[in-house]
Chain A
Amino acid sequence: MDEVKIGVFICNCGDTISKSVDLLDIRARLEKLADVALVSIGHDLCSPQAQQAIRKDIIDNGINRVVIAACSPQLYGDALANLVEKAGLNRHLLSVANIREQCSWVHPDKDKATKKAMVQIRMAVDKVRLQDVVEQAEVEVYKDVLVIGGGIVGMEVAIELSNLNLRTTLIEKEANLGGRLKQFAALYPLQVTPEEMLTSRLKQVTGSENIDALTSAGLKDLSGEVGNFTAKIRKGNEEISRNFGAIILATGYETLFLDKVYGFELGDNIITQSQLEGMLKSPGEIKKIPQSVGFVFDICDEHSRISTPSTLRNALVIKERFGSEVYVLCRNLQVDGAGLEKLYQDVRNKGVIFFKFERFPKVLRENGKINIQVEDLSMAREQVMLSCDLLVVEEKVVPHQDFATLESMLNIGLGPRDFYQEDNVHLYPTSSTKSGIFFAGNCHQDLDLGRALTDASNAASEAYQLISSGKMRVEVERVVVDPDKCALCLTCLRFCPHDAIRIDYEKKTAHILDLACQGCGICAAVCPAKAIKFKDWSDDQILAELEVV
C-alpha cells in the first residue's frame, strides 16, 4: 500500500466556529500527527470556490485520505463525498467530523470545546487511516415484475407498471381476476359499480401487451436476489420459469367469523358480511325479502378500516333495494376515509338507524326472528329491543392462508398480526425487509379501497424506480467474509434481516450478496469468529476511534 497521506480540511463557517474553538491551536497539534500531510482552515467550505481549492489541494499534495471538520454530514455529506471523488479518490476515503452542531455551537467554554473538537478530528483521522476502498459497479437487472395476487390492487399495480412500460406477470390463484371486488354489491361513496370498475380494469389488463395475466396459477419457488429473481410458477400441470427484477405482493386478506367472541353461531338469519354480499350479488338466493335487517360490528376491538365502509354500503343497498328497516349497531364508526362521513350522513338521511353501544348488545333467537337488546345512549341508556329478520355480523380480517407459505418461500418477515411486515412502516411503507420485494394493499396494512389503490400506485412506482433503467448501482464487497475464519455457524444467516447472506458449501463459507445487502452491519457485529468485515466500520476502525476518546 502507498504511503498514507491524510489531508484535514477545517471549516470556520463564516468565522463562527473559531468563536468557541481555537482552530489555530488545533491545526498546530494536528500537523504533528503521523500521516497528516496537510491541515487547512477555510472560511466556508461549502462555497464552490472553497471546494475547488480543496480539490486542488488534494491533487497537488498527493493526499489519499481526507478528513473534513465542518458541519453535520447530514447537510453536506454527499456533496463532500462527491468532491473527494472528483479529486480522483474513492468516495469512502473520507471521514467527516461535525465540529459545528456537535461542538462549537453547543459548547461556549473555549478550552473544553477546543479539546472536544480535537478529539472529534483525531477520531476521524484515525478512522480514515484504516479505511478500505469500496468500488461501485453497475449491474444489469431484469425489467420485469412479478405481481402476486389478481385482485383490484394487484390489477392496479400491473396496469400502472404497464403504463410505465415495464413487463408484468400477474398471477392469480383463482380462475378469474378480480378478487374480493367480485363479491361487492356496491362501491359507495363511489358512483361506479363494482362491475364497472372490474370491467374497466379487466379491459386494461387484457388489452395491455405488457401484462401477462396467469390465472389458476401460483408461485412454487423463488431464488436469486433483487434485479435477478428466478421464479417457478405453477399453472395447472405446467411449470413456468421466469426472471424478474422485482416482485410485488398483493395477496389481500381473508375474513373469519369469530363465533367464540360473539357467543352465537351463524344460521339462516344470522349471516356474515361476506355471506350478505354473496346474497346481494345473486338475488336468486334471497328466498324472502327481510323486513328488518340489523348490522353489528366492533366487538372484537378490530379497529378495522373494512367494517365501517362495508356496513354503510350494504345498509344503503338493502334500504334502496328492499326498503327494509335497517339498524346499525357499533361502538365507533371509522369515518376517517375519503367520503365516508358524507356516506354516513346519506345513509342516515335514507332512514337507517344507528345505535352506538358501550356494552355489547344481547342477541336472542326467537320464532325465526332475531331480537337484539341494546342500550340507547341517546335516550339515557334506555333498553331498546330491536326485532330483525336478518342479522349481519362483522368478520375478523385475517392474513391470507397462503401467507405462511409465501413468507417462507420469499424469506420476508411477518408483523404483529401476522400480516407482512414493512422494512420501515413510515420511511419505506411498501418495501419488505428484502430488497426488490414490495407490498401493495391489505396484505400488509389495513386499508380502505381508496388507500389501497394509493398503496398500489406507490408499490408500482417503487419497483419502477428500482429497475426501470435496467441497471442498478451497487457497492462491491462493502461487507466481506474471510473464508478462512468462517466456521459456517450460520449466525449471520439467521440475523440478517435482508436475506442478503448465502452459504457457499463448496468453498465452505458464508458470502454476502452485494445487491441485497443494505449495509446495516448486523452480520459483522454478531459473527462469533470475527470473520465478517464491514469496510466502513471495521472493528479496527472503531477500536482506533475509541483509543482517542
Chain B
Amino acid sequence: MVNKSVLVLGGGIAGVASSLRLAVNGFKVYLVEREPTIGGAALFFCCKATEACNQCSVCLVPEKIAEVKAQPQISLLTNSQVAEISGQVGDFSVRLIQRPRFVDPEKCTACGVCAELCPSQPNKAIYLPSPQALPYAYAIDKNNCLHFNGVECNICSQECPFGAIDFDRSPEKIELSVDAIIIATGFDVFNAKEKGCLGYGRYTNVLTGLDLERKFSTQGSITLPSSGKAPQNVAFIQCVGSRDVHIGNGYCSQICCKYAMRFAKLLQYQHPETKITIFYMDLQTAGKGFGEFYQQCKETIRFVRGIPVEISEISPDELEVKYEDFIEGKVAKEIFDLVILSVGITPRKDSSNIARILGINLGEWGFFDTQDHLDSTETNVEGIFVAGTCHGPKDIPESIAHGAQAASKVIQTLAARGI
C-alpha cells in the first residue's frame, strides 16, 4: 500500500477511470463531483442497441460505477467544488466547498418512501439522481423543495424510516492535502440555440442529440413532440457547433457522426418505415468495427453531403429544411417531421475559472491545454494532469483510456520524484 493521495476533480467517466486505476495501485483517491452522484454526462445517455449491440459504450458507466463502489481507497465527495489550491507536486493543499445534500448517504437505503410522500409539484424535490447513482441515495433539490421555499413542510424528514434527512445542514469547508491532481471536469453540450437559423427552441420538432439521449433513456423510444405520433421522416444535421470557426469551435467533436448513425439505426429498428436522412460534411467512420456498421447504415439511411443553412416551420409537423444539393447543383428544400441537431462537445463554461484556480493553460478553443498537442495528459503545472473531454472531444472508451493514462502518469511522476 502506498502512502500517497490524489485529488480527482470530476466524477464523470474519465475521472472515475483515473480514480480506479489509482486506487487499485494503492493510492488514496479523493473523487470530487459537483453533482449529487458520480457518473457525469454519460450516466444519462441511453443504450443504442438494436437487435445487435452497436457499441455505444454507455453500459460501461454503471459498470465502472460499481467498481468505484467496491473500492475502499476512493473517498467520494459529491456536491463539492474546488475553491482554492496551493502548493506543488507532492504537496498540494486543496480547499473544497461541499454543499449540503440534506440526505445522509450513509443512512439512506434508497427505499423511496420520501419521494412517494413529497408534495412538491410537478417534480419531486427529493429524488434519486439515477438508478445507477453513487452514492446510491436520494438528494434534495433546494429550488424545488417546499421546506426551503417558505412552507412548513418536514414530511420527508419525519417519515424517513432511517432518519437520514436533516434540513439543518450548511455548506462545509473541506481541507485536503494531496500529492497530485487530475482534472476531469468534462464538457458542455453545444447550445443549439446559438445556431438560430436551425430553430432549436423555437420549433417544437427540432431536437438535439442530447434530447434524444434523454428521451430514449427515460422513455425507451421517441415520438414527435408536436403530436405524440411516431416520426415518419427524420433529418439529422451533423456538425452543429463543431468544425465551425465562426462560432469559435474549429474542431471536430468526434462523437456526433457515430451517435447520429446509432440513433438512426435505433429509430429504424423501432419504426422500420421511418425514412432517415443524415446531412454531413465528412463522415467520421473510423474505429474498430464502425466502418462495417456504416456500410449497414448505408442500406437504409440516406446520406446527403452538405449542412443545411435554414429550417422553417410550416406547421408543427412539417419542417422545411433548406440545403445546398451538391449533386444537382442547386438549393433544395425538403420537408421533414423531425429534425435532430447533432450537437457536439464544447469546453465547460467554468473552465477558465478552474484554469485560474489551478494556474493551468487553456488551449485555442478553451479546452485545458497539455504540453504537447496530442492526447497527452500533462499540463504546464507539474503534478496537475487532465483527463477526458475537458482536454478535447472524446467518446466514452477514449475518455476511459485517457483517464487511465492520466492516472498512470501520476504514478510515474510521483515515482520519478521519489515522492
Contacts and interface: CB of A to CB of B under 8 A. Distances in A.
Interface of A: 13-16, 43-44, 46-47, 74-75, 78-79, 160, 163-165, 189-192, 301-305, 332-342, 345, 356, 358, 377-381, 415-416, 425-427, 429, 445-446, 449-451, 453-455, 457-458, 460-461, 464-465, 468
Interface in B287-341: 287-292, 294-295, 305, 326-330
Contacts of A43: 161
Interface string B66-103: 10011000000000000000000000000000000000
Interface of B: 21, 24-25, 55, 57, 59-60, 63, 66, 69-70, 107, 109, 111-113, 136, 161-162, 243, 245, 250-252, 254, 257, 282-292, 294-295, 305, 326-330, 364, 372-376, 392-393, 397-398, 401-402, 404-405, 407-409, 411-412, 415-416
A74 B66 contact: yes
A104 to B, nearest CB: 11
Given A46-B109, A381-B327, A429-B397, A190 B252 contact: no
A454 B401 contact: yes
A298 B47 CA distance: 31
Closest 7 CB pairs of A and B: A380-B329, A303-B291, A450-B374, A14-B111, A461-B408, A450-B375, A163-B412
B372 A332 contact: no
21 contacts: A14-B113, A43-B161, A164-B411, A189-B373, A303-B286, A334-B282, A334-B285, A338-B375, A338-B392, A341-B252, A342-B250, A345-B250, A356-B305, A377-B305, A377-B327, A416-B292, A446-B286, A453-B374, A453-B375, A465-B21, A468-B25
B162 A14 contact: yes
A449 B392 CA distance: 16
A75 B415 contact: no
Given A75-B69, A341-B250, A426-B57, A335 B282 contact: yes
Nearest to B375: A450
Nearest to A382: B329
B373 A449 contact: no
Nearest to A75: B136
Given A164-B412, A301-B295, A341-B243, A458 B401 contact: yes
B55 A304 contact: no
Residue of A74, A336, A380 most packed against chain B (CB within 10 A): A336
B396 to A, nearest CB: 8
A299 to B, nearest CB: 13
A152 B52 CA distance: 36
Contact of A44 (B63, B162, B251, B407): B162
Contacts of A465: 21, 24-25
A378 B286 contact: no
A16 B252 contact: no
A341 B286 contact: no
Nearest to A74: B66
Contacts of A416: 289, 292
B374 A338 contact: yes
A74 B257 CA distance: 33
B415 A454 contact: no
B286 A334 contact: yes
Contact of B326 (A44, A303, A381, A427): A381
A451 B401 CA distance: 9
Contacts of A342: 250-251, 364
Nearest to B395: A336
Contacts of B243: 335, 341
Nearest to B409: A457
Nearest to A101: B131
The B contact surface, by secondary structure, is loop
Contact of A160 (B24, B161, B397, B412): B412
Given A336-B252, A426-B59, 15 more contacts: A16-B113, A165-B415, A190-B373, A301-B291, A302-B291, A303-B294, A305-B287, A335-B282, A336-B254, A338-B373, A425-B288, A453-B376, A457-B404, A458-B401, A464-B408
Residue of B257, B286, B295 most packed against chain A (CB within 10 A): B286
Contact of B286 (A304, A426, A460): A304
Given A13-B109, A190-B373, A461 B398 contact: no
Contacts of A16: 111-113
A78 B70 contact: yes
B398 A192 contact: no
A127 B330 CA distance: 71
A163 B416 contact: yes
A72 B250 CA distance: 46
A331 to B, nearest CB: 8
Nearest to A79: B70
A333 B326 contact: no
The A contact surface, by secondary structure, is loop
A337 B286 CA distance: 10
Contacts of A358: 305, 327
A43 B252 CA distance: 53
A248 to B, nearest CB: 14
A303 B285 contact: yes
A85 B178 CA distance: 33
Nearest to B285: A303
Nearest to A426: B57
A457 B375 CA distance: 11
B109 A451 contact: no
A334 B305 contact: no
Given A160-B412, A164-B411, A446-B286, A451 B21 contact: no
B27 to A, nearest CB: 12
A454 B251 CA distance: 20
Contacts of B305: 356, 358, 377
A343 to B, nearest CB: 10
B408 A457 contact: yes
A345 B69 contact: no
Contacts of A304: 286
A464 B282 contact: no
A391 to B, nearest CB: 22
A188 B285 CA distance: 22
B290 A303 contact: yes
Contacts of B416: 163
Contacts of B295: 301
B326 A164 contact: no
Contacts of A461: 21, 404-405, 407-408, 411
A451 B375 contact: yes
Nearest to A44: B109
A92 B419 CA distance: 40
A451 to B, nearest CB: 6
A453 B370 CA distance: 14
Contacts of B411: 164, 461, 464
Contact of B252 (A340, A378, A446, A450): A340
Contacts of A14: 109, 111, 113, 161-162
A449 B328 CA distance: 39
A190 B374 contact: yes
B313 to A, nearest CB: 29
A306 B136 CA distance: 43
Contacts of B408: 160, 164, 457-458, 460-461, 464
Contacts of A13: 109, 111
B372 A341 contact: no
A413 to B, nearest CB: 14
A302 B287 CA distance: 10
Contacts of B24: 465
Contacts of A302: 291
Contacts of B285: 303, 332, 334
Contacts of A189: 373
B415 A163 contact: yes
A11 B329 CA distance: 70
A204 to B, nearest CB: 12
B415 A446 contact: no
A304 B286 CA distance: 6
Nearest to A425: B288
Nearest to B406: A457
A332 B405 contact: no
Contacts of B112: 16
